[in-house]
Amino acid sequence: MSAQSILQFKKTLENLDACMAKAEAFATAKKFDVNVLTQYRLAPDMFNLVKQVQSCCDSAKFAAAYLSGQTPPKHEDNEATFAELRARIQKVIDYLNGFKAADFAGYEAVKVSPNWAKGKWLPGDEYLEALAIPNFYFHVMTTYAILRHAGVDVGKMDYLGAINLKD
């Protein structure tokens, strides 16, 4: 299950990147600099789009690292443009591509102790369900909502991606 969640994070980041590409096309059609959108927020006391994208990247990266007992790669949070944000997304997709299901064997019982928890911890399964998954979708969906509200032509299927129905 953990491996499936990580695969789903990867798919969702690919879908988010496609939404970012749609924003670039929208900006070109409307003749504005797409990087204007990096400073957009839905409310003044909310993270801007840059920080939303960085946060969903981190949420996926840390989940994969913590649940497999690895040390996550460091990313500097210095992106300022759409091109840099899309490169950041790609870096995390590449990182997630390096995992295989066996890396997450026994993830349920791993003690996950993020820096901000100051020594406290959650068992892996609880961390995944109560924190990693909802936190990931929080930042993905806020990014999506900012783009949607700004007029970019994205819909739920862009976010969900292809659903592989069987006959």
Least spacing, CB of residue 83 vs a second copy, in Å:
25
Residue 78, helix vs strand vs coil: coil
| C-beta closer to a second copy: residue 80 or 117 | 117
| C-beta closer to a second copy: residue 8 or 35 | 8
Least spacing, CB of residue 129 vs a second copy, in Å:
5
| C-beta closer to a second copy: residue 9 or 95 | 9
Taking alpha carbons only, the member of 55, 57, 62 closest to residue 128 is 62
One-letter amino acid of 9: F
Q: Which contiguous run of DSSP H or E holds residue 111?
A: strand 111-112
What span, in angstroms and rounded, lies between the C-alpha atoms of 154 and 131? 26
Least spacing, CB of residue 61 vs a second copy, in Å:
18
One-letter amino acid of 102: A
What residues line the site for a second copy (CB under 8 A)?
Answer: 1, 4-5, 7-8, 11-12, 42-43, 46, 117, 120-123, 125-126, 129-131, 133-135, 137-138, 141-142, 145, 148-149, 151, 156, 159-160, 163-167
Place of tokens 């399964």: 125
Q: Which contiguous run of DSSP H or E holds residue 137?
A: helix 133-149
| C-beta closer to a second copy: residue 7 or 65 | 7
Least spacing, CB of residue 72 vs a second copy, in Å:
20
Place of tokens 């496609």: 18
